[in-house]
Amino acid sequence: MEQPFMSTTFPPNQFLHQFWADNAKNYNYELFGAEICQNQTSLVFLSRLLEQHRPEVIIEIGTFTGGLSIHFGLYGALKGVPVHTWDIVDKRQSAAVFEKLGISFHLDDCFSPESDKLIRDLLATKRAFVFCDGGNKIKEFNAYADLIKTGDIICCHDF
């Protein structure tokens, strides 16, 4: 007897086709109720990168509402990995969740002297996963790409 892929009212292959089609055009979903500005399939991809990479620190530039930060924070809480995220405006939906997950939210420009120094120090001492998704992705990427060591990963969203 063939096992069903999942319970749906239509064939599984149609469900998968619709899932991928929806994700190709719809980018603002939720992760456990927190708004994200990525599609759901990107979360699976990022989870896989973290799983294979095993970073010692996660650096996110561009927190916005914090949904992706929570995704990173869940990983960090489970694996004992510090998560730092920067934004110039606090639009987080739930600061309490950030606190419970141990996410370090920096209400600052990542290029301010203090924040830039912290990012550079983290990159110099830990295997890092850097996610550039702030207001100037090209500048963010270019500022930190030269500091990436063997074993580090730097990503850029919406480029």
Which range among 17-21, 25-29, 72-76 has the greatest average pLDDT?
72-76
How far apart are alpha carbons 151 and 138 in whole angstroms? 22
Segment 68-74 shows an average pLDDT of: 96
Express each pLDDT in 89-145 by its tens digit: 999 999 999 999 999 999 999 999 999 999 999 999 999 999 999 999 999 999 999
Count of other CB atoms within 10 angstroms of residue 134: 21
Percent of the chain with pLDDT over 70: 82
Q: Which two tokens stand for residue 28?
A: 């603002």
The pLDDT score that the predictor gives to residue 2 is 47
Percent of the chain with pLDDT over 90: 70
The pLDDT score that the predictor gives to residue 73 is 97
Q: Which two tokens stand for residue 55?
A: 């970073």
Segment 3-9 shows an average pLDDT of: 41
The band of 32, judged by pLDDT with boundaries at 50, 70 and 90, is confident
The pLDDT score that the predictor gives to residue 36 is 83
**Looking at the whole model, is its pTM more than 0.85?**
no
Segment 31-46 shows an average pLDDT of: 81
Count of other CB atoms within 10 angstroms of residue 97: 18
- pLDDT, greater one: 19 or 147: 147
How far apart are alpha carbons 48 and 16 in whole angstroms? 19
How far apart are alpha carbons 98 and 114 in whole angstroms? 21
How far apart are alpha carbons 45 and 75 in whole angstroms? 13
CA-wise closest residue to 108 among 138, 88, 128: 88
Segment 13-25 shows an average pLDDT of: 57
How far apart are alpha carbons 26 and 47 in whole angstroms? 20
- pLDDT, greater one: 7 or 25: 25
Partners of 131 in the beta sheet?
60, 155
